[in-house]
Structure 1
Amino acid sequence: MAPTLKVFPTAQEAATAAAAFLAERLRAGGRAVFAGGRTPLAAYRHLAQSDLHWSRIQLIVSDERCVPPEAPERNDRALREALGNLGYTLHAYPAEHGPVAAAEAMEAVVASLVPFDLVLLGLGEDGHTASLFPAHAALEAPTLVAPVFQAPKPPPSRVTLTPRALSQTPTVLYLVTGSGKRAALRAWLAGEDLPPKRIQAPEVLVFADTAAGGDL
């Protein structure tokens, strides 16, 4: 389905709107994919203030960097720090053991979580989402979870949910902010075969700030 773009004046307003959307969809609980990286952290901090049935919420990050659990680059660590200890379940990848071992360990876990109730993703300046990079092998993986080697941005070793996994949801929401993302967002909305195009869902939304999405 073609994405629906909604543009907000600032990145903060886009993050607040994303948090409100997440809260609405997960108020009674559910299974969700949350994006890694820095962009969504403001949304997660807002979401942490919401009155949800947190004990009924199961989360998994869209991808993980193959670094030690205590490393600041870990997506699961950043998510926990942003949300706090609210009683949700976070399914963490054993990414410290390397891409292949982590992908194999998480395949059954993800199989038990799909279909997701909601997927939140970001968009990189090169058009990647999760750790699905343009022309990378993980885009074609038949599995739910795939190892990633030689990623074009550090760290090079990662593990990611695949399009097969991320498409098993009624709703995918992308949070895209900053002028650096504008060209990639324009290309995707114009139909270029970037990784987000491989992820199909009945409802695909993009919440962007003016810098990324104005006049697109």
Structure 2
Amino acid sequence: MNGPHLQLEVYPDAGAACRMAAQRLAQALAQGGTAALAGGNTPRPAYHLLAEMELPWPAITLVPTDERCVPPDHPERNDRMLAEALGDRGYRLVRLPAELGPEQGAREAEALVAPLVPFRVVLLGLGEDGHTASLFPGHPALEATGLVAPVRRAPKPPPERITLTLRALSQTETALLLVTGASKREALRRLLTGDDLPPRRLTVPTLTILADREAADAMEA
């Protein structure tokens, strides 16, 4: 199917891929601006590296690409992970009110996100099933027309979430997809060979994929 041009960059290991992700984020935010950042464990090392860089932190706004409908202090919150990984650098962190539940949380988050687009940079991840943010293959949230969508019955726990939509994530100067580890190999192969996975539905001109050799091994064999 049609979609963004996929530009694959392969690095020797996950550490090198994360270092490049941090460098690309720093380049995009060198003059300040807003970034939408993936949660989960994969990008955490990149955020630790980013935190060590000299940037105009008070001029930077960060927002998670998605959030789990759990209490604000829950260890699985993406905003909590971002705050812990980056530390106190003076940036503004926009917290999506997912604790209100999918529908109300998405409605209130819409008002928070609207002034933030277009983003300077978006960093996404890729799940083993091909999802990105909390946009899962075949899920109704893929068809959402707003900037933030409620998610119920997500195939990966927790089942209730809110997520930035394809419309929101596509409004960016730079779109990055960080993919590391052998467990992501099949999803990356499917993405690169044309399967209708959520990242292919982005309307950005180019999606730059930062992959480690383990994840990209199937494409290089």
Query: Is the shorter-chain TM-score for this pair beyond 0.5, marking a shared fold?
Result: yes
Is the 8 Å Cα contact of residues 118 and 169 (structure 1) preserved in structure 2? yes
Counterpart mapping for 1:74-85 below 5 A: 74-85=77-88
Give the structure 1 partner of residue 205 of structure 2.
202
Whichever residue aligns with residue 200 of structure 2, its letter is K
Counterpart mapping for 1:1-216 below 5 A: 1-214=4-217, 216=219
Segments of 4+ in structure 1 off by > 6 A? Answer: none
* Partner secondary structure for residue 215 of structure 2: helix
RMSD of Structure 2 on Structure 1 (CA): 0.8
Whichever residue aligns with residue 200 of structure 1, its letter is T
Query: What number of residue pairs does the alignment pair up?
Result: 216
* Partner secondary structure for residue 80 of structure 2: helix
CA distance in 2, matches of 1:38, 1:211: 16
Partner deviation per Cα, 1:46-89 (whole Å, 9 max, x = no partner): 00000000000011000000001111100000000000010101
Whichever residue aligns with residue 167 of structure 1, its letter is S
Give TM-score, length-normalised by structure 2: 0.96
CA distance in 1, matches of 2:176, 2:204: 10
* Partner secondary structure for residue 59 of structure 1: strand
Whichever residue aligns with residue 71 of structure 1, its letter is H
Q: CA deviation at 1:140?
A: 0.2
* Partner secondary structure for residue 15 of structure 2: helix
Q: CA deviation at 1:172?
A: 0.7
* Partner secondary structure for residue 21 of structure 1: helix
Partner deviation per Cα, 1:17-45 (whole Å, 9 max, x = no partner): 11011111101101110001110000000
Q: CA deviation at 1:203?
A: 2.5
Question: Which ranges of structure 1 fall in alignment gaps of 5 or more residues?
Answer: none
Whichever residue aligns with residue 56 of structure 2, its letter is H
* Partner secondary structure for residue 172 of structure 2: coil
What percentage of aligned pairs have identical amino acids?
58
